[in-house]
Structure 1
Amino acid sequence: MTTLLLACWGLLAFAAVTDLAAMLPTGRFTGAWHARFSLLCCAVACGGMVVVGAAAMAGHQAGTGSLFAVPGDDGVGTDKLSGLFLVITFGTAAPATWCAADPLRPLGRTRRGLAAVLALLLGAAALILTARGAFGFLFGWELLGFAFYLLAGFDRLRPGRAAASLLTAGFSKASGALLLLGLLLLAVRAHALSLDGLAAAPHGAARTTAYVLLIAGFAVKAGLAPVQVWLPTGYASAPGPARAVMAGAAVNVGFYGLWRTLRLLGAPPHWLAVLLLLTGAASALLGIAHAAVQDRLSRVVAYSSVENAGLIVTGYSVALIGTTMREPRLVAVGLLAATLQVITHALAKTLLFTTAHRLGHAFGTDRLDQLRGTGRALPRSGTGFAIGCLTLAGLPLTCGFTSEWMLLESLMQQFRVGSLGERLAMAAAGALVALTVGFAGVAFVRLVGLTALGSPPRQPLPGAADAGVAASGGIVALALACLGLCAVAPLEVRAVATGIAPIVPASVVRGALGGPWVLGPVFPTFSVLSPSWLWIAMPVLFVAVLAALTGLSRGRSLRVRRVPAWRSATGGVEGDAWYTSHGYANPTRRVLAGVLMTRAQVRTLEGEEAARADAREAGAPVADQMAAGARYEYSSDVVEIVETYLYRPLLRPLRIAVAAARRLQSGRLDAYLTYMLVVLIAVVALVTALA
């Protein structure tokens, strides 16, 4: 397995070099094929990483000696936990890169350099998941942040891309700085640089501080509030094929960091577990609230990543509370729910971004109101898009239903917690998660109803075609995984139990298996459910009810008046009376006005302004509408409260600090050497004081 691991890295490097060779003025690779070839190499390397991860879960671990010429570097290696995340991360990256290699119709310009950056992203993610030492882990983390920066600013000449890349880079550097400080604190106390050696750090204020810093650093990459503001902008600014890899695969390293921190440091302080629990639940509600009201497809999917990060961290926090209580079963139910949600998010988000990119390319926009009827125009991409939406909505017969059911079951165990504060926190988190699940259904039904099935259908660009054979294979694989994992949920639980065995014994996690095809929340006699039998019972009941209804009504029930999807049942409703994405989301704006800070305004239009509005609707000259009377215009908007009330007030002092820092840039070499000497002395003094 060690040879295969190194070969996969070598193949990623080859893909990057091949793609970059075409960018040279004297490059021999001038056609569009080189980019597709490089992406196919990335897909093959991802498949190899999946094999390495599966072998590690089966006990065949890989490992090498030192990769970097630094003291304490233990090289790379795999265990069951890293193997699980290798399978999740690269199992979704493989079809994503495979689909990206399939050319789009109509063909756009050749995206030179994109495959190279994706290869860098995947290689960095593999290094993070397999690093045994703190240096290798941080090196991979910085490479990953650099790849995110390059992808967010890939189309740097388009409006907003430069600002998005700088925002992404800023939060990536903040994440890396937090991890660096946390690992340094542990290394000083444990006198070791290997990740396993950091667990020897003695208990005390330094260990607690390091725990907080590590969780904060991983939360930035995962997109947890209040450090989630980079995520919607960064994802939406990246090229379409890269979004699927960024959101579905690379973001998993943040969750792996949380799992690995729990493995190394054990139980956190009680207050940290409770704070993280409430933060995760609030992040989930905030993310889905904004996803439900966005009018651009890319931002809807990006904001749903904030929601899923919140759901995952909520389950993880239940496991943290279990460790503080020394209750392995509570650890098992929380970590199992969180890991199942990680798998759901990886599959569905990869599928959604992959198909959304193809729909947007075919129609030349990602505005929801201009993507009506995409399921009819592009049936393969539209079907995959609908399955991804239903999975993230948590509806039955998808793996999202299993993971969200398990998450709610884990939060219902609050009566087993001894502390009143923790019981109240779990109850509050349960209410927030239940509200989030409800609004997730609203948000993704809007996408399916108005986009994939909407009327009146829009026509794609001339020459636009559905996914080809290669891309269809990737879409089918992801869609089948979203549906099939629900049918084989007990087998999925067994695999997850093996992967998280370094944290909680697999025998405890397998307590969730109430029978061969029955699941429960680890604790016996609490509740059970069989997602597998639902795949049999629900279709059978549907057919039985339909047959009985048809027989009893003698066929009259089938003779109903049919109208296009999402149209009022009243005849003659056309034009602006059709449902729009803004109108469908308006009840959400009103119900969640406290979260979204909804601002509504009714304005009277008179005279020429009203005539222009009438002319726009009728398609007639303004002069023909001058006799129109007054009109009323209604507008509704939402506020990103974290960005508005937390980060924007910090801009002024930040600009002052930047202006002061510029004065230090004199351009003199001796000055810069002096600055480096001062920083070095300060770091040495700090480390000496901590030691």
Structure 2
Amino acid sequence: MTALIIAGLLLFAAAALIDTLVGPAFKRLRPAQLPYLVCAAGSACLAATGARALVDPGVSVRLSFGAWLGFGTSSLAVDQLTALFWLLTFGVATAACLTAAGWAPRRAAQKGTAACTALVLAAVAVVQGADNAFLFLLAWEALTAGFYLLAGADRTRPDSVAASVTTFVFGKVSGAALLFGLLLLASRSGGFSLAGFAHVPPGLLHGTAWTLLVVAFAIKVGLVPVQVWMPRGYAAAPAGVRAVMAGVAVNAGFYGLWRTLGLLGPPPTWLALTLLLVAAVTALLGIAHAAVQGRLERVIAYSSVENAGLICTGYGVALVGARLDEPRLMAVGLLAATLQAAAHAIAKTLLFAGAACLESVAGTGDLEQLRGMARRLPWAGTGLAIGAITLAGLPPTAGFVSEWFLLESLLQQFRLPHLPYALALAGAGALIALTAGFASVTFVRVVGMTVLGPRTEERLAREPRHLDLGGTGRAGMLLLAVGGLAMAALTPLELRVLARGLSGLVPAAVSGGALKSAWVTQPVYGDFSILSASWLWVTMPLLGAAVVVVLLIGASRGQALRVRRVPAWRSASGGVHGDDQYTPFGYANPTRRILGAILLTRTRTALLAPHSPGGPEPSPGAGVRPAATGAVLGYSSDVMEVVETYVYRPLVRPLRGLVTVAKRLQSGRLDAYLAYMLITLVAVLALVTALA
């Protein structure tokens, strides 16, 4: 098994070398596609390692690096938790790299993009396998560098520089919090072994380290108020590799949270409750912004914020269970969070992979221009539809199962002995229920208009024919789609795998309580509620077939299948121009109004130029009615990023002032710089010693 780990890491290195060094002599091998295929092979090696370690827990899998890092011995050790995350992360990464390979040859990707992808994958592998704090931190910083390079790789985008800088700044803040948290734990445990941190006793240092680590991982997964980098960073990256960032690499942050709970035990009460409520608010704010975005990539990116909130809400329930010494509550929270993480990884990869194909063919990610585009690209459209339905939480997908578990875990508040815990779970439950409703609205817009919407003849005439994803891209989409649907159909088997992978955090016998019988699941607590996702795959097709039979019987009378064509209804007012259907802008407008208090919706009216017959249509939302002068009264509505506007922008001026002062310290004298380093080192050591 160690050979598979070595092979996976070497394949990542080979992919990076091929992408940066291979020249025209290898033209027959299609070098644009080859490095992604090599990354897929490396990911498959690590996924196989994780699967084998889960199947046979007695097998010791360890790749030792000795003491050459200088902070004690270090290695990649695959225990049950690492095996679970490797199986999830790199199983999805294999398919994501295949879809990227299908995207790369025809999209003129920037040279070096595949090398950055390989760096990200290798960094995630080391983060999830490291048993040494320094090795963990080194891989975490490499992941930050990979995200920075990917966010700035597409230099044709005007916002790529700002997005990459924002991604890098938040990544460095995450790294700083992780560094201080690990140093605090190392100062008390006497070494840099992660296993040694489990012996740190509760107290001020323990609580401070818990908080710092949660902040570090919360930045990476995108919780409020540190989520602002995620929509920018994802949207600015090359379209074909966004799936690797959003569906694969983000799992490093979730792994960090899970591992922290396993090492440090229960967190402080205030931290558990705060994380639970912040996660629920994150879910609602993320889906609120996703519902009103005008570009497909930003809709998917903001939905990543929502999914991070859902996953961390389940994790918050587990923290409450750990704090109250309630193993069953801890088990149902971890199961809900991990199920949600698995559904998110597959669905997000499907969405970004499908969106990359649509965007590269249409030349834009604007939802108005993508209306009906997926009808011409059936593979990309099908993947987009399955991913959207999964994240909408509709049966019989894995998203429905994971959200059912999450809501059931939050409904256990009546079992808690203390009112603050019960109120926190009840409040989070209300926010998550509201989030689920708006998620359906959000992805109905994507499916109904981008996938199923009609394409005008004018647009069809302008668009050249393109191969839909190519052979490797289709293989990747098929793996993701079948895998995601199979997870729902085989939910009991998935729960058994999760129970084994989470056995280091909660006993497998307790997690096994989620199985009421061979094909029926329950939220660990018996006699509360049950669900059989497997039977849904039997009953739903049968009910659908019954509807078709009834329809055909009624059609014998010539009524049920008769098509009646009438002019499309636009409005009771005259002078309304536009297509005979809802636009993405118009469909999202009620959401802007309903969530106006959250999104701070702003509306404007203006006089536009008169619409001439045969001329271009007014922009969506414009053209309400003609004014007396012959001009058109236009209407527009947009939203505000609340956190960015009221948290970060007020800090810009003080930060610039601080930078101006810091520039004065750049004297150019080496002795002065050495003095600065000495002062900083002494201050850090004094802080660590005081807290220890």
- Compute the TM-score of the two structures, normalised by the length of structure 2: 0.94
Q: Does 1:473 align with 2:472?
A: no
Choose the corresponding residue for 1:600, options 588, 599, 603: 603
Aligned counterparts of 2:221 and 2:4: Cα–Cα separation in 1: 29
- Given that 1:104 and 1:465 are in contact with CA atoms closer than 8 Å, whether structure 2 keeps it comes out as no
Aligned to 2:11: 11
Aligned to 1:149: 148
Q: Secondary structure at the match of 1:369?
A: coil
Tell me the amino acid that sits aligned with residue 602 of structure 1. Answer: T
- Offset of 1:577 from its aligned partner? 4.6
Tell me the amino acid that sits aligned with residue 594 of structure 1. Answer: A
Q: Alignment length, in residue pairs?
A: 677
Counting only pairs closer than 5 Å after superposition, residues 59-458 of structure 1 correspond to structure 2 as 59=57, 60-67=59-66, 68-103=68-103, 107-156=106-155, 158-457=157-456, 458=459
- Given that 1:362 and 1:464 are in contact with CA atoms closer than 8 Å, whether structure 2 keeps it comes out as yes
- Given that 2:110 and 2:153 are in contact with CA atoms closer than 8 Å, whether structure 1 keeps it comes out as no
Choose the corresponding residue for 2:591, options 579, 588, 591: 588
Aligned counterparts of 2:51 and 2:489: Cα–Cα separation in 1: 21
Counting only pairs closer than 5 Å after superposition, residues 40-59 of structure 1 correspond to structure 2 as 40-58=37-55, 59=57
- Offset of 1:456 from its aligned partner? 3.7
Counting only pairs closer than 5 Å after superposition, residues 20-35 of structure 1 correspond to structure 2 as 20-22=20-22, 33-35=30-32
- Given that 1:35 and 1:111 are in contact with CA atoms closer than 8 Å, whether structure 2 keeps it comes out as no
Tell me the amino acid that sits aligned with residue 293 of structure 2. Answer: Q
Gaps of 5+ in 2: 619-625
- Given that 2:234 and 2:246 are in contact with CA atoms closer than 8 Å, whether structure 1 keeps it comes out as yes
Aligned counterparts of 1:568 and 1:514: Cα–Cα separation in 2: 52
Aligned to 1:511: 513
Q: Secondary structure at the match of 2:74?
A: coil
Aligned to 2:660: 659
Aligned counterparts of 1:469 and 1:501: Cα–Cα separation in 2: 39
Q: Secondary structure at the match of 1:65?
A: strand
Aligned counterparts of 2:499 and 2:421: Cα–Cα separation in 1: 26
Aligned to 2:531: 529
Change (3 A) 1:103 1:629: closer
Aligned counterparts of 1:555 and 1:102: Cα–Cα separation in 2: 49
Tell me the amino acid that sits aligned with residue 484 of structure 2. Answer: C
Aligned to 1:678: 679
Choose the corresponding residue for 1:37, options 26, 34, 39: 34
- Offset of 1:508 from its aligned partner? 0.8
Change (3 A) 1:193 1:366: same
Aligned counterparts of 2:569 and 2:490: Cα–Cα separation in 1: 38
Aligned to 2:630: 629
Tell me the amino acid that sits aligned with residue 481 of structure 2. Answer: A
Aligned counterparts of 1:555 and 1:292: Cα–Cα separation in 2: 43
- Offset of 1:72 from its aligned partner? 2.3
The more displaced of 664-673 and 557-566 is: 557-566
Aligned counterparts of 2:284 and 2:482: Cα–Cα separation in 1: 28
- Given that 2:577 and 2:617 are in contact with CA atoms closer than 8 Å, whether structure 1 keeps it comes out as no
- Given that 2:555 and 2:561 are in contact with CA atoms closer than 8 Å, whether structure 1 keeps it comes out as no
- Offset of 1:559 from its aligned partner? 2.7
Q: Secondary structure at the match of 2:605?
A: strand
Aligned counterparts of 2:611 and 2:658: Cα–Cα separation in 1: 48
Change (3 A) 1:469 1:296: same
Tell me the amino acid that sits aligned with residue 680 of structure 1. Answer: L
- Offset of 1:158 from its aligned partner? 3.1
Cα deviation per residue 1:52-87 (whole Å; 9 max; x = unaligned)?
111221212311333543132332211000000001
- Given that 2:153 and 2:237 are in contact with CA atoms closer than 8 Å, whether structure 1 keeps it comes out as yes
Aligned counterparts of 1:185 and 1:557: Cα–Cα separation in 2: 75
- Offset of 1:380 from its aligned partner? 1.2
Q: Secondary structure at the match of 1:317?
A: helix
- Given that 1:549 and 1:557 are in contact with CA atoms closer than 8 Å, whether structure 2 keeps it comes out as no
- Offset of 1:567 from its aligned partner? 8.1
Aligned to 1:622: none
Q: Secondary structure at the match of 1:183?
A: helix
Q: Secondary structure at the match of 1:633?
A: strand
Aligned to 1:497: 499
Tell me the amino acid that sits aligned with residue 56 of structure 1. Answer: A
Gaps of 5+ in 1: 620-624
- Offset of 1:109 from its aligned partner? 2.5
Change (3 A) 1:413 1:618: closer
- Offset of 1:591 from its aligned partner? 1.1
Identity over aligned pairs, percent: 52
